[in-house]
Structure 1
Amino acid sequence: MAADTRDQLTWAAAPAAVPLADAPGGRDTPRPLTAHACWYPSADPAGERIAFVCDRTGVPQLWTGPASGDREPDGTDGLRLLDSGPDPVTEVAWSPDGRWIAYTVAPGGGELTRVLCVRPDGTGRRIVAGAEPDSSAYLGCWAPDGSAVAVTVALPPGGAARLLSDAGRQDGPGLGALEETAPDGVRDPFAEGWAGAGVEDGGRDRDPFAEDGAEGGDGGRDRLGAYLVDPDGVRSPVLLAAERGAATLRVCDLSRDGRFALVRRGPRGRREAVVVRTADRGAGCVLRVADGDPWIGRFSPDGSTLWLRSDHEREFAALLAVRLDQEGRYTGSSVAAERADCDLELLAFAGDGGTAVLAWNVRGVSELRLLEPQAGRAGVGEPVAGGGREVELAHEVVVRIAAAGPGGAVLALAGSQRRTGVWWLPGGAAPVRTAWSSRDEDAVPPGAAPPVRPVALSPVARDGLGLGGWYYRAPGRDGDRPAPCVVHLHGGPEDQERPVFSSLYHELLGRGLDVFAPDVRGSSGYGRSFTDADLGTGRFAALSDVADCVAHVVLAGLADPARVAVMGHSYGGYLTMASLVWHPELFRTGVAVCGMSDLETFFAGTEPWIAESAAHKYGHPERDRELLRSLSPMSRVDALRVPLLAVHGEHDTNVPPGESEQFVRAARERGHAAELLVLREEGHEFRRADNRRRFRRRAGDWLERYLG
């Protein structure tokens, strides 16, 4: 893009490339794993090779391999490890021109991530965003011609001011190429928030960024900036969008002519798609979009239509065709594909851009369909129920979809009896498992019991709301005899329990413990009303749902009422501690993983952009202080009656380790058995194979001791 005033204002806080030496070998990396998982695929422009994340060495790392499974001319299998460093890889994106692979890593396993680029042959590795101390960065999309990659940079409080104060120094901390003077003097590009006076959304005019951070004087707590960065380092970064007090800001697509950017922004439960004019950073239109997968849509080749996965004014997300004028303003929309009772969960376009690949979430199980929507007319014709031709899947859940060559796509598939693997979907043909994905028969070690296929259950809450979940019966269990049962609660709260292989569940089942994994209110996959049913004081009802789920499996004769435990991660860890103090008579013990024990201290200690997002779900830390206190497990810790194991990653800045520490300390002070397991070089997610193994064995020992 041509340099203008906007470009000259980006230098103060823009990311700068940092070249790196060849990647070192991983520290304490275990021997290669037979049973490994492959996920987050991204193909080269020809669809011949796939970049992906794989944990075959014990750490999620960046690999490439052939899509078809054919061997290389030299007789090898074609697998290449592009970054052997110890930091886990979380996202991957191959550039449209094939010259670069961008990927996100989590240094030390923590939450402050950075974006790197590397050549497909493993050379030229460099940090392109997130190198500044205490900053964090994550991937957006590539420019259509591959000349730049979009990144979002999250700066800590005062971060932009610190960079601005160093701007005049030649030895400033990684500022990259600077303009000698700015036309209006030194300015903070985040000071004005989103450029543009308002947004038109089917007749609504408003500033989509006026709400967040505007109350309580905390609008400057953090800043997010979305940039286009040249991985070659020739051109300076270009600012696309900026926001104070932000929850999220991700660039999902750029129009082919460069006029528009599709940005996903807003806190959980209030996500929005914003069409941004790149010339002046003004906003064209805004539409509500569902939580879940951040890759929400794509522009048509001429930029006149935006294909969007959205639940705007709907209970379930559908594929919308949004019509735009020359300024990116909303002129109307129609439904291209919809289902009456389930969400469109994943949306991607095959390599030719003319075929939409749709994954529908049908009560936790995926249905995949191919659709050829028609743009350029007043609408797209009658909505297609379900959307086009169905593709038969070998396993239950589609995790990710990405384009792969002309008319093709790649899929990450997961199932209850397999580890996540990558499948190649050539144009119009059935999916083919890549040769380097773990085989189904390798899901568990030799000699171990095979994975258990769960059974869907439908509990009903005391207020009549229908819930869901999956029940796993331990191998060899007498079907008529109630069993010791672990109720496992997922995170989010907007996550959903899916029938996919879990090493943790397999560990517990192998010890003779059943597992029930329910979806209480607040979960996704059941419609917008269900997801929003736990907001504010509705969280008390979610706590009651846990008790109602226990009652369901007990009355069904599945679980022994005297031997029930509760366990969960993140929000599920919060629910675990809350359930132990709200329903102490139901559980023999609990295992809380990375859970919040006090919502006030959680808000004070978490990352600012996480706090912005969480406020919509739990309550505002200032206005709703009494509500947060009444919902906090620490406020009722005197009611605790049973032993507790807490587990936390040492580098977790999402839910800081102090949340587990204070609950364990309080339990011990009251005479209860309580232990804390802290996992080295882990953050909010446990990504290293050795730590995951240690965690599930420790949890298994604990639960077996108190339930066995």
Structure 2
Amino acid sequence: MAADTRHPLTTGPRPDTGAPPPHIDPAAGGNGTAAAALTALAEPGPTAAATAASARAAPEPVLLADASVPHDVPQRLVAHSCWYPSVDPGGRNVAFICDRTGVPQLWTGPVDGDEPRLLDADPDPVTEVSWSPDGRWIAYTTAPGGGELTRVLCVRPDGTGRRLLAGGEPGASAYLGCWTPDGSAVAVTVTEPAPAGDVRARPDWPPPATDLPAPAHTGRWAGRDGQAVLLGGRPLATATDQEAERTVVQADHAAQTREAAPRALAVYLVDPEGTSAPELVAAEAGAPTLRACALTRDGRLALLRRGPRGRREAVVLRRRDRTVTGTVRAADGDPWIGGFSPDGRTLWLRSDTHREFAALLEVRLGPRGEWLGQRVAAGRPDCDLELLGLHRDGQHAVLAWNRHGVSDLEITALPARAPLEFGTDLREPPADGSRDDTSRGVPLPHEVVTRVVPTADPDSPVVALSGSRRRPGVWWLPHGTALRTPWSSRDQDAVLAAGHPPVRPFPLHPTARDGLALGGWYYRAPGRSPDEAAPCVLHLHGGPEEQERPVLQPLYHELLERGLDVFAPDVRGSSGHGRSFVDADLGTGRFAAIEDVADCAAHVVVAGLADPQRLAVMGRSYGGYLTMASLVWHPELFRTGVAVCGMSDLSTFFAGTEPWLAESAAHKYGHPERDADLLRALSPMSRIDALRVPVLAVHGEHDTNVPVGESRQFVRAARERGLDAELLMLREEGHDFRRADNRRLFRRSAADWIQRHLAT
């Protein structure tokens, strides 16, 4: 989202996001305090005000120069990765993201041919792809400069007609939604920054369509022992009380603008041809996320996904009068949560409402979109429905289940429409997860499915696969036969530089000190004796809701080639283990998550896998925070740490992060004002005097999710205490490292650092 907007709940300066050199940063040293790493945000002047006003206008297509390249473009990466496929209407051609040039870019190629074409040779990383239902356009999202602000473009399948649809204004951001069923327009979500000046006198602010009520599904934090206070929580309006609710919402917006004017998210339908004006679908002031996931064929109803992490909602909006006709909790993870039947009377959703694990939910809708009832159409008692792909015929679906980190793929015929009077019925499917003969499992050549795409033939989907011994690739599954697309990397291309094949991990199941069962995957360095206690790196994933999966991780193999074992655990707060496990770190539960790291280290030591005198810890994003926290909460446990894009002080993090992320983070960590004491107690900087070991921090220069100042102040404080501490800054990167040369630099620098400090 827009980097120049402030979260209405927080005050204070933003961390310095200047561009340091792409090497160890000397600016992190010296005798400055944490405050010295922060700079005040300048007051907006007339130019900024004009920019804000233009950013609030509906997006219009802007023609760009053609940037397609034939398939014989120089290929610097042999062992490349392909992911995020989207198919044409015939199902024989695929648009996808590939990094064979060193940067994730937009490519297209036939499922059974070996001549892919680079459609956009610009160096900006591509993050999402969507082929229009009529086949005329491919829409995609890019991240200019590798940062967190994104924009939406369109290009024709032959590489011509490239144009910018949304997100081109300075400080603005945009991301993809669904296409209209006829392909005439694509939904885009754009940021609309609050106008400068006194917005109380502005009749056009908040935007007129800001009529989505506050989230109804607020999770279960209020019933826990934590000090944190949940944001929002007003019951959702229905069609019968919408007008009364709108009055309350408008009053609340007026109260908000007296304190600080929030930026808004707005969803528009944009015609790539530019022949018709963009059409506003919905807008919400202060929204963390808002995405159009599906439209009915007649355009009457829209399915929106909104809300912060841990409190996602699926909202059905009647477009004629922008009335919310119903809502239900939507599962976290993949944003494409569901869609409508061809007649618009059934909604299929990936939801975990009233459940530990996400399932396929069938919602019956009335003629005006009213919510008549719902039931579980497919669910399993011990694993999540992770991905849902609905066939355009409305009678078939592709389901990907997350079974303890490994994917099960199922092609199913959707159940016939239930009787009108079935009401609200949350009955469970058979306890063993079995279905009738209208469903069948599809054997997979690799462990994890990352995307499912139905094609014209319901029995021949396209999927993106990752595995512990292969690079991500795109596969075609005609009638149960798994065929790798010729332009995806071969398995043998994944062999590492030293000639060793990738290591296949094995699962471990530690137990936390309070009895909670944890999980994770252990990677044994090649050639190591089974009974040898090895130097070991604990790697902590981000989120916190991410999950460790058995997929090829070049970072892990860089460490393994240095003779270092890797244990990648799922501490509490991770997904894939049920809703209660995800929520177990809320509020003061964060302290238990920090203890989980020590318990995981103890588990691999007691099991005889790891040497207790040669342990290191590292992680990215939330894992970077957990790395810093582990080093100061357990100062004698680890010999060194590598913290990547981590939060060192939750107060300065809230002051500098993106507004949408602040909203989600307040649910996870605590409110930046009401829970200031809790955030202070959870911050690694509050215990920095306990730090005893060397630390390397790594950060992308354009990271606005976790600003660079979070790493700088931790490294500076460590140096002030006489410790070996460095900061590696990566140019043209944001919160995710997408460029091959930067990823390589990060892997080698982190492995060099850990190897050096574990060898002494």
Say yes or no: does 1:423 pair with 2:475. yes
Give the drift of 1:367.
0.4
CA contact (8 A) 1:199 1:284 kept: no
Distance in structure 2 (CA, Å) of the matches to 1:157 and 1:10 = 11
Give the drift of 1:16.
2.0
The aligned residue for residue 324 of structure 1 is: 365
The aligned residue for residue 155 of structure 1 is: 192
Letter in 1 for 2:476: W
- SS of residue matched to 2:581: helix
Judged with a 3 Å threshold, the aligned counterparts in structure 2 of structure 1 residues 30 and 244 are, in CA distance, closer, same or farther, namely: farther
Distance in structure 2 (CA, Å) of the matches to 1:522 and 1:11 = 36
CA contact (8 A) 1:140 1:252 kept: yes
Judged with a 3 Å threshold, the aligned counterparts in structure 2 of structure 1 residues 374 and 578 are, in CA distance, closer, same or farther, namely: same
The aligned residue for residue 569 of structure 2 is: 518
Q: Which of 338, 350, 355 is the matching residue for 2:396? A: 355
Distance in structure 2 (CA, Å) of the matches to 1:351 and 1:324 = 18
Distance in structure 2 (CA, Å) of the matches to 1:702 and 1:101 = 43
Letter in 2 for 1:396: E
Give the drift of 1:202.
12
Match runs of 1:213-228 below 5 Å: 220-228=261-269
Match runs of 1:574-653 below 5 Å: 574-653=625-704
Judged with a 3 Å threshold, the aligned counterparts in structure 2 of structure 1 residues 627 and 386 are, in CA distance, closer, same or farther, namely: farther
The aligned residue for residue 674 of structure 1 is: 725
Judged with a 3 Å threshold, the aligned counterparts in structure 2 of structure 1 residues 196 and 269 are, in CA distance, closer, same or farther, namely: closer
Distance in structure 1 (CA, Å) of the matches to 2:408 and 2:569 = 21
Residues 593-636 of structure 1, C-alpha deviations (whole Å, 9 max, x = no match): 00001111111111111111111111111111111111111111
Say yes or no: does 1:46 pair with 2:97. no
Give the drift of 1:91.
0.2
Q: Which of 665, 688, 692 is the matching residue for 2:716? A: 665
CA contact (8 A) 1:43 1:405 kept: no
CA contact (8 A) 2:191 2:264 kept: yes
Distance in structure 2 (CA, Å) of the matches to 1:204 and 1:320 = 25
Q: Which of 238, 262, 277 is the matching residue for 2:279? A: 238
Give the drift of 1:13.
2.6
Q: TM-score, normalised by structure 1?
A: 0.90
Judged with a 3 Å threshold, the aligned counterparts in structure 2 of structure 1 residues 204 and 692 are, in CA distance, closer, same or farther, namely: farther
- SS of residue matched to 2:752: helix
CA contact (8 A) 1:250 1:265 kept: yes
Letter in 1 for 2:77: L
CA contact (8 A) 2:237 2:245 kept: no
Distance in structure 2 (CA, Å) of the matches to 1:667 and 1:200 = 51
Give the drift of 1:425.
2.2
Aligned length: 670
State which drifts further: 96-105 or 602-611. Answer: 602-611
CA contact (8 A) 1:216 1:622 kept: no
The aligned residue for residue 502 of structure 1 is: 553
Letter in 1 for 2:181: P
The aligned residue for residue 383 of structure 1 is: 429
Give the drift of 1:671.
0.5
The aligned residue for residue 285 of structure 1 is: 326
Q: Which of 130, 134, 150 is the matching residue for 1:97? A: 134
CA contact (8 A) 1:414 1:501 kept: yes
Distance in structure 2 (CA, Å) of the matches to 1:464 and 1:679 = 40
Say yes or no: does 1:194 pair with 2:240. no
The aligned residue for residue 122 of structure 1 is: 159
Distance in structure 2 (CA, Å) of the matches to 1:515 and 1:680 = 27
Judged with a 3 Å threshold, the aligned counterparts in structure 2 of structure 1 residues 699 and 63 are, in CA distance, closer, same or farther, namely: same
Judged with a 3 Å threshold, the aligned counterparts in structure 2 of structure 1 residues 24 and 362 are, in CA distance, closer, same or farther, namely: closer
- SS of residue matched to 2:283: strand
Distance in structure 2 (CA, Å) of the matches to 1:666 and 1:16 = 48
Give the drift of 1:31.
4.9
Letter in 1 for 2:87: A
- SS of residue matched to 2:603: helix
The aligned residue for residue 6 of structure 1 is: none
Give the drift of 1:186.
6.7
Letter in 2 for 1:158: P
- SS of residue matched to 2:188: strand
Root-mean-square deviation (Å) = 2.7
Match runs of 1:541-552 below 5 Å: 541-552=592-603
Judged with a 3 Å threshold, the aligned counterparts in structure 2 of structure 1 residues 207 and 672 are, in CA distance, closer, same or farther, namely: farther
CA contact (8 A) 1:161 1:188 kept: no
Residues 687-708 of structure 1, C-alpha deviations (whole Å, 9 max, x = no match): 0000000000000100000112
CA contact (8 A) 1:12 1:160 kept: no
- SS of residue matched to 1:53: strand
Give the drift of 1:325.
1.2
Give the drift of 1:582.
0.6
The aligned residue for residue 177 of structure 1 is: none
Judged with a 3 Å threshold, the aligned counterparts in structure 2 of structure 1 residues 210 and 272 are, in CA distance, closer, same or farther, namely: farther
Distance in structure 2 (CA, Å) of the matches to 1:154 and 1:11 = 7
The aligned residue for residue 522 of structure 2 is: 471
Distance in structure 2 (CA, Å) of the matches to 1:316 and 1:202 = 29
The aligned residue for residue 621 of structure 2 is: 570
Distance in structure 2 (CA, Å) of the matches to 1:532 and 1:501 = 28
Letter in 2 for 1:137: A
Distance in structure 1 (CA, Å) of the matches to 2:697 and 2:685 = 14
Identity %: 67
The aligned residue for residue 410 of structure 1 is: 462
Judged with a 3 Å threshold, the aligned counterparts in structure 2 of structure 1 residues 382 and 593 are, in CA distance, closer, same or farther, namely: closer
Judged with a 3 Å threshold, the aligned counterparts in structure 2 of structure 1 residues 445 and 479 are, in CA distance, closer, same or farther, namely: closer
Give the drift of 1:160.
11
Residues 439-485 of structure 1, C-alpha deviations (whole Å, 9 max, x = no match): 01101345521100001000000110000000000001111110000
Distance in structure 1 (CA, Å) of the matches to 2:756 and 2:145 = 32
Give the drift of 1:43.
0.3
Judged with a 3 Å threshold, the aligned counterparts in structure 2 of structure 1 residues 49 and 160 are, in CA distance, closer, same or farther, namely: farther
Distance in structure 1 (CA, Å) of the matches to 2:377 and 2:115 = 40
Give structure 1 stretches of 5+ with no counterpart: 1-8, 70-76, 166-184
Letter in 1 for 2:469: Q
CA contact (8 A) 2:67 2:159 kept: no
Between 1 and 2, higher relative CO (CA 8 Å, sep ≥ 6) is seen in: 2
Say yes or no: does 1:254 pair with 2:295. yes
Give structure 2 stretches of 5+ with no counterpart: 1-52, 215-234
Say yes or no: does 1:558 pair with 2:572. no
- SS of residue matched to 1:534: coil
Give the drift of 1:124.
0.8
Say yes or no: does 1:275 pair with 2:316. yes
CA contact (8 A) 1:196 1:281 kept: no
Letter in 2 for 1:139: L
Distance in structure 2 (CA, Å) of the matches to 1:509 and 1:373 = 45
- SS of residue matched to 2:583: helix
The aligned residue for residue 181 of structure 1 is: none
Give the drift of 1:354.
2.0
The aligned residue for residue 41 of structure 2 is: none
Judged with a 3 Å threshold, the aligned counterparts in structure 2 of structure 1 residues 157 and 628 are, in CA distance, closer, same or farther, namely: farther
Distance in structure 1 (CA, Å) of the matches to 2:721 and 2:434 = 55
Judged with a 3 Å threshold, the aligned counterparts in structure 2 of structure 1 residues 482 and 201 are, in CA distance, closer, same or farther, namely: farther
The aligned residue for residue 148 of structure 2 is: 111
Q: TM-score, normalised by structure 2?
A: 0.84
Give the drift of 1:157.
4.2
Distance in structure 1 (CA, Å) of the matches to 2:181 and 2:418 = 24
Judged with a 3 Å threshold, the aligned counterparts in structure 2 of structure 1 residues 196 and 470 are, in CA distance, closer, same or farther, namely: closer
The aligned residue for residue 451 of structure 2 is: 400
Distance in structure 1 (CA, Å) of the matches to 2:608 and 2:179 = 53
Judged with a 3 Å threshold, the aligned counterparts in structure 2 of structure 1 residues 456 and 472 are, in CA distance, closer, same or farther, namely: same
- SS of residue matched to 2:593: helix
- SS of residue matched to 1:508: helix
